[in-house]
Amino acid sequence: MSEPAAPADTIPHGDPFAIFEDWFAEARVTEPNDPNAMALATATPDGRPSVRMVLLKGHGPDGFVFYTNFESRKGHELAANGHVALLFHWKSLRRQIRIEGPISEVTPAEADAYFASRHPESRLGSAASDQSRPLENRQVYLDRVAAVRALYPDGNVPRPAHWSGYCVRPEAIEFWHDREFRLHERRRFVQSADGGWTSTMLYP
Ligand SMILES: Cc1cc2nc3c(=O)[nH]c(=O)nc-3n(C[C@H](O)[C@H](O)[C@H](O)COP(=O)(O)O)c2cc1C
């Protein structure tokens, strides 16, 4: 007897944000940790790429938000070239989502609210870190954390001016889903001039 045929096309055609919500909700259940971790690719103006993980801290049709040190390597690259790519890979679901688009800074009020919501120790660590710059040894960093702690004994560390968030406004969102025998499924959504989204299936 032959096996029942697997459905030919399982990634919905409709709203890419709704698909993101569904897949992200599943990942929050199945991933062992950090389902909101995503790779952030940046590039220098002359096209030299670099990539690192960051955490998604807000999302919706307006975009995908992460927070970082604006004086870090990525911060300098973003100041010079405001186009990025994001990548989620959820191993537990065998799924990938790629997002591409320009960035904008979140408002100071949004950044303040998010910074205030972080654990006091995380706030200390961010305030004491010269992210991406050389560190002579780890004790130097720990001493700087202790110095910031002494400045704010109530734990109420204010957000450093150079620490804030970026919102990636997606121009393209692509969903990839593992299928049997590596006959994987891909669907790429691109935003049209009227703000709507069209999608195309791609060879895997
Ligand atoms: C799972 C994970 C999540 C991370 N989240 C963040 C983040 O939200 N913001 C951030 O600045 N760095 C985050 N990092 C550290 C970055 O990957 C990176 O080491 C750091 O931002 C410096 O990158 P840069 O030198 O390219 O600027 C995370 C690392 C991992 C592994």
User: pLDDT tens, 158-196?
Assistant: 999 999 999 999 999 999 999 999 999 999 999 999 989
Q: For residue 41, how far is its CA from the centre of ligand 1 (angstroms)?
A: 11
pLDDT at 2: 57
Which residue, by CA, sits nearest to atom 29 of ligand 1?
53
Calculate the alpha carbon distances from 60 to 24, 42, 63, 83, 118 in Å: 12, 21, 5, 18, 21
Q: Range with the lowest mean pLDDT among 8-17, 129-138, 182-191?
A: 8-17
Q: Which pLDDT score is estimated for 4?
A: 58
CA distances from 24 to 43, 59, 106 (A): 27, 11, 22
pLDDT score of 107 more than 90: yes
Mean pLDDT lowest among 11-15, 56-60, 125-129: 11-15
In eight-state DSSP terms, residue 93 is: T
pLDDT band at 13 (very low <50, low <70, confident <90, very high): confident
Boundaries of every domain in the chain: 16-118+161-202
Task: Note the pLDDT of residue 53.
Answer: 98
CATH homologous superfamily for the domain 16-118+161-202? Electron Transport, Fmn-binding Protein; Chain A (2.30.110.10)
Average pLDDT of the chain to the nearest whole number: 95
66 touches ligand 1 (CB under 6 Å): yes
The pLDDT of residue 5 is above 90: no
Probe ligand 1: pick from 33, 42, 44, 54, max atoms within 8 Å of CB? 54
Which ranges in the chain belong to alpha helices (H)? 16-30, 73-80, 108-117, 120-128, 138-151
